[in-house]
Amino acid sequence: MTLTNPATPDTADRPRQAHPADRLRAAAPALLTYAAIRALGLLVLAGWAHLADRSARQLLSQRWDSLWYVRVVEHGYDFTLTAPDGRVLSNMAFFPLLPWLEEGVSRLTPLGPADAGLAVSAVASLAAAWGVFQVVELVYGRRAGLFAVALWAALPVGIVQSMAYSESLFVALAAWALYATLRGNWIAAGLLAALAGLTRPVGLAVAAAVWVGALLALRTGTAAGPRWRLVLGVVLAPLGAAGYVLWVGVRTGSPFFGYLDVQGAWGNGFDGGLAFVRFIGDLVVSTPAAGLALAAGVLVVPWLYWRGVRQGQPAPLLTYCGIVVALALCSSGYFGSKPRLLMPAFPLLLPLALALARAKARLAWTVIAVAAAGAAVYGAFWLHGSGPP
């Protein structure tokens, strides 16, 4: 059972059910393109770090959030830090799957937790690129899948995909969960959604996508196989995120609000985007060019989402993408992190990927080359700055 719309464009090279080895061969050009773009970013970062007398490895694995994941490995969830303004920052704000993997890799190899995080991200980023390709190929065809992966690799903040951060791991789990949902593989979708929920709080967006896919399958009578598989997938999907949030609540003495309190101490909350609007407004007043550029960039996000709606993206993709975008833009946390928080919303790239897939090859690859070069330079500049991405 497939939940894609057969009337969507560029369907001539859509895949049928295939052996995993065949799927990997089909994805090979996209994965090689992804690896080349990310390698360019790492080479530029290494050169910049050499000129600045800094360590590229340290920039990727031992700054900002990556340090907090290592603290989970080294101290469990008993580590706190007092901020200058008196706020108590707890590492319970960070979901456990990445530090679990870091600990497992460091026990099985000579790598320390920080370097293990880099190894996990390297593998996960390729799995994420493959998952993005599978989803887009299923819906819009192989050429669109190739350009979707290239665009995702060449995002301005694409360097995060190579850091000891949880973005690559989350996108890998989310993309494959969405692919399983579109294929009607409900148990796999539920398990992957649960794991995504153990990676980042936005994992609930993946669970919601599974629920929407299941509801549509029941409504249209297209749910293949025994009904219990669908029910089990729906039940499994939210368990990762809900289980961790409840565990933090029990640890803090407030089962339903404890995790929100932990995030609140970090300055993170959901205010419908009011704080972000004020931030943009202040920036327009103080630095008009930068403020207007940021406002224009933000407006592109809902426009791309609307284009996805008009192009008939499957409901599970729209559900997942919409929740990721809403949580990213409407949270009151550190505003410099919003581009990174939008990175999992890869369905936003589908309208652009389709446009490139239909363009002449020279033009399409020129766009990708320029985007990749810009991302490489910006990523190196970003990591040499003072604020967290």
- pLDDT tens for each residue of 12-29: 455 455 678 888 899 999
The confidence score (pLDDT) of residue 12 equals: 42
Beta-carbon contacts of residue 42 (< 8 Å; ≥ 6 apart): 56, 162
The confidence score (pLDDT) of residue 17 equals: 55
| pTM of the shown model | 0.94
Q: Write out pLDDT tens, residues 52-84.
A: 999 999 999 998 999 999 999 999 999 999 988
Q: Are 23 and 134 in contact (CB under 8 A)?
A: yes
Domain annotation covers residue 134:
yes
Domain annotation covers residue 10:
no
Average pLDDT over residues 121-147: 98
The confidence score (pLDDT) of residue 161 equals: 97
Tokens 């961790």 correspond to 244
- Identity of the amino acid at 37: I
Domain annotation covers residue 259:
yes
Average pLDDT over residues 288-308: 91
Average pLDDT over residues 27-51: 98
Q: Write out pLDDT tens, residues 222-274.
A: 887 899 999 999 999 999 999 999 999 999 999 889 999 999 999 888 888 88
The confidence score (pLDDT) of residue 9 equals: 44
- The conformation of residue 90, written as its DSSP 8-state character, comes to E
Domain annotation covers residue 94:
yes
Average pLDDT over residues 175-193: 98
Domain annotation covers residue 389:
no
CA angle 252, 253, 254 (to 5 degrees): 95
Phi and psi torsions of 113, nearest 5°: -55, -40
- pLDDT mean across residues, the chain: 92
The confidence score (pLDDT) of residue 19 equals: 77
Average pLDDT over residues 106-113: 97
Distance CA 177, CA 192 (A): 5
Assess whether pLDDT exceeds 90 at residue 44.
yes
Domain annotation covers residue 146:
yes
Beta-carbon contacts of residue 345 (< 8 Å; ≥ 6 apart): 321, 324, 325, 328
Assess whether pLDDT exceeds 90 at residue 349.
yes
The confidence score (pLDDT) of residue 21 equals: 84
The confidence score (pLDDT) of residue 11 equals: 43
Q: Which residue has the higher pLDDT, 285 or 117?
A: 117
Percent of the chain past pLDDT 70, that is, above it, reads 95
Number of structural domains, the chain? 1
Assess whether pLDDT exceeds 50 at residue 124.
yes
Q: Are 311 and 139 in contact (CB under 8 A)?
A: no
Domain annotation covers residue 353:
yes
Q: Is 103 left (phi over 0), alpha (psi -120 to 50) or beta?
A: alpha
Domain annotation covers residue 26:
yes
pLDDT band at 98 (very low <50, low <70, confident <90, very high): very high
pLDDT band at 8 (very low <50, low <70, confident <90, very high): very low
Q: Which domain holds residue 274?
A: 20-383
Percent of the chain past pLDDT 90, that is, above it, reads 79
